Structure 1
């Protein structure tokens, strides 16, 4: 296939997939190529699906094929991290742009796409168990991923915190949003001005090790991955019966976010909370678990406290930010 410039058949795609993804794994009794894969059974699994669609979730004008392949899998792995679990396998649904569309990809571009996805899969020992292919008007990726609890056997969930619990995050907030907006305005040139933000948007790193460590700490009461911004995800996390007092200083905001908001006359704290695609972990823990957090996750940042009222506040002022909504109209 090295001499081919295009992939013209389903068999071409399957050969390229087999090139990058091993078809044998300790968890697969029957691999790709049959009507179904057969996997070794587990006592319980966590499972999730994410869609990654061209011109909705990414643009080819500044996402390389490798960026697309990496991020499509990374955002799914992050959901497993948010449950305090480890990923154990995934399946891939792919909408392939036809040759008459403006999204058509050459064989070398598909090679980059699968190479980046398989590199991330190998990093987490993830077998690709199968999937489906279809022609379509634009590039689309749908990944279903599953995983299992770590050594503790715990699965961390939303709406399991209580008033008085400490709220914390593992990871940076606001960076991917700054990267997205800079790329939309400046294209690839944005990387020169805001390299950390652009990289955070194009190549998110799932925090599996952090999630597994959180599940090992008994005083950690829950966690989730932040994908729609803290302003929207925080109410989902604490539930309708609780509120939160957030305390976040400007010094805790990543450098590229401070630079981008200063360059564009934006409120850095509000910008950080609106976020989106942060793929940081939000957690809640009892105050007596803070020493364990400091020991095992020294990079975590305390951002506030769960309250018995349903109100949200930021640094003592009422907070009324809605965050990202997948079905809202975005200008």
Structure 2
């Protein structure tokens, strides 16, 4: 079984999966800096993806880890309506012979290093493991046409992935489209979503209690957690539609990473003193059937779990109500969750609703 024992082995593996010539690079990997072919304006985002904090190797395959570490960054570009161009990769690699302590699933994802970092019997230090990791990442990079421009490698106590991604403005017949952002809502605007909410949380809880056997009962939820789909095309379509409307920015957008309960107040600028709140009307039947099934089997409230759940990477937005019909023409899957109102008390189905959800430091 071939083992990786040097930085050169990692770099050779990276080169097998990521071309070093790309339309978005003037000069690629191999120098101290890459030279990028950049538009006048760029949208930039970075995310960390750390073992024991964001994922467990016991149920994330190496391909899943590679895929998701890039996907969560591309989702940020989707929220700005950007066209993905490139990314850099920082990789923290634990020693192949480390003595690992199994994390306690009862404590959630946060925990120690995972003792089961293997792929069909191939441990993390092997070529097979890292081939699968980089192919999972490269699969998504090819789908979105992004270039790996460079990065860094280091030994570390646990596996960690740091990705920085950037993109340019979408194009339209009128020229470049402005990027979208949060905190443009006004009272009376509708709150909408494209994609599912709450599924990834159910996938996480099922994986924690059942391992990969959870796929047999909750396939959509498990896939939502392991392989979230960055809604890049949706974000660009929303940005183009907003640009056609003209005038001041009135389309707010963000991706759903920490759950509706925490992210929607951020979307309307509650955290920045906007004095706005959200009033949601979400019927029980709007919750995905796998959420309802899991919650029934585990004595949980389905709507509560759905609104607390993060990592769905759906897009949530606000816009004037008169824009809604046209937006649905562009994106037929758009669903209305409620509306924006004046005040500081968020409401869900007529009841006060606390803005709680995932917090890295809670």
Q: Distance in 1 between matches of 2:355 and 2:216?
A: 30
Match of 1:119 among 116, 139, 149: 139
User: 2:7 is matched with which residue?
Assistant: 10
- SS state of the match for residue 217, structure 1? helix
Q: Distance in 2 between matches of 1:311 and 1:57?
A: 31
| Aligned positions, number | 325
User: 1:45 is matched with which residue?
Assistant: 42
Match of 1:300 among 320, 334, 344: 334
Q: Does residue 242 of the first structure (1) align with residue 272 of the second (2)?
A: no
Q: Distance in 1 between matches of 2:292 and 2:84?
A: 34
Maintained 8 Å contact 1:170/1:299: yes
Q: Does residue 263 of the first structure (1) align with residue 297 of the second (2)?
A: yes
User: 1:133 is matched with which residue?
Assistant: 153
Q: Distance in 1 between matches of 2:241 and 2:193?
A: 15
Match of 1:30 among 23, 27, 31: 27
How far does residue 321 in structure 1 lie from its aligned partner after superposition?
4.5
User: 1:215 is matched with which residue?
Assistant: 239
Q: Classify 1:239/1:321 alpha carbon distance in 2 versus 1 (closer, same or farther; 3 Å).
A: closer
Q: Distance in 1 between matches of 2:135 and 2:212?
A: 22
How far does residue 268 in structure 1 lie from its aligned partner after superposition?
1.0
RMSD across aligned positions (CA): 1.1
User: 2:195 is matched with which residue?
Assistant: 171
How far does residue 178 in structure 1 lie from its aligned partner after superposition?
0.0
Maintained 8 Å contact 1:67/1:116: yes
Q: Does residue 231 of the first structure (1) align with residue 261 of the second (2)?
A: yes
How far does residue 99 in structure 1 lie from its aligned partner after superposition?
2.2
Question: Which segments of 5 or more consecutive residues in structure 2 lack a partner in the other structure?
Answer: 101-116, 118-123
Which moves more between the two structures, 150-159 or 42-51?
A: 150-159
Q: Does residue 157 of the first structure (1) align with residue 181 of the second (2)?
A: yes
Maintained 8 Å contact 1:82/1:156: yes
How far does residue 74 in structure 1 lie from its aligned partner after superposition?
0.3
Task: Give TM-score scaled by structure 1 length.
Answer: 0.96
How far does residue 221 in structure 1 lie from its aligned partner after superposition?
1.3
Maintained 8 Å contact 2:265/2:355: no
Match of 2:222 among 188, 195, 198: 198
Q: What does the per-residue CA deviation read over 1:59-118, in whole Å, with 9 as the maximum and x for residues that have no partner? A: 011000111010000000000001111111000000011122145432101000101100
- SS state of the match for residue 251, structure 2? strand
Task: Give TM-score scaled by structure 2 length.
Answer: 0.88
TM superposition outliers: structure 1 runs of 4+ over 3 Å: 102-105
Q: Distance in 1 between matches of 2:360 and 2:60?
A: 20
Q: Distance in 1 between matches of 2:96 and 2:61?
A: 19
